[in-house]
Amino acid sequence: MNIKLYEFDVLEAELTELSPVHRLVFAASCCERLLPNYSLVKQEDGWGDPSILRNALNEVWSFIEGKPVNAKQICQLLKVCDEAVPNADYVSGSQYDVEAQEAASAICFTLEACLAPTPKNIIKVAKCVMNTIDGYLSAMKDIEDPNWWEEKSLEEKKEEFSKHVFAIREIAKQSEDLQKLKTVEKLDINFIQCLRTSFVNQRKSLIDLP
C-alpha cells in the first residue's frame, strides 16, 4: 500500500476492496480528525454551531453500528450541515475558515456516502483531508515568506508538504485504518469504537488545532 497525499488512485483501489460499511468507517474516521477545526471559527468569529456537525457525525457512526439508514433523515442532516458550511463572507474574522469549510464539507460528503458508499464518494472526504493540510501549510508559508509561492513550482510545493509531519502522520493513519478494515470481515461495536477513538492527539485535529 502506497497512499500519497495528492494522489488518490491507490486509495481508490484500496477502497474498492472494502465493503460499503467498511468504506463508511474510513470516511467517518477522517471526519473525526477534521471536526476540531470547525470549532475554531466559532471561537474566533462567533459563527456556526459545532454541535450540528457533531450530531450528524454521531448519526453516521450509528448507521455504521447497524441503525437502518433513513434516506429522509440523511437529507435532513445534509440540509442543516450544508447550511453550517462557513461562507468566507460571514467568517472573515477567523483565519481558519478554510479548515472549517473542509471539515463541514467532509461530513456532508460522508452523509451522502451513507446513501451511496462508492469509492469515488469516499475519495471526496479524503480530498477534504488533503485540502486541509495543503491549505493550512500554504497559509503558514505565506506568513513566513509572502514570496515563497513564486520561488517554488507546484510539484516542489507538493513534495515539501508531503514530507511535513502532518501529512506523514495522516497518511500513516489512513494506511493503518485501511489495513485494520481489510482484516476484519464483520464489524463489531468494540472494533468500531476502537477505530473511532484511535486518533489520540489531545483532542486536537490532524493539523494540531485547536
**Overall size of the chain counted in residues:** 210
- The answer to whether 42 touches 209, Cβ cutoff 8 Å, is no
91-109: average pLDDT: 84
The region of weakest confidence among 15-24, 53-62, 140-149 is 140-149
What is the reported pLDDT for 147?
A: 84
Nearest-angstrom CA–CA distance, 105 and 140: 22
Nearest-angstrom CA–CA distance, 50 and 96: 14
Summarised one tens digit per residue, pLDDT across range 35-46 is 999 987 766 666
**Confidence band, pLDDT 50/70/90 cuts, at residue 49:** confident
**C-alpha grid cell for residue 176?**
493503518
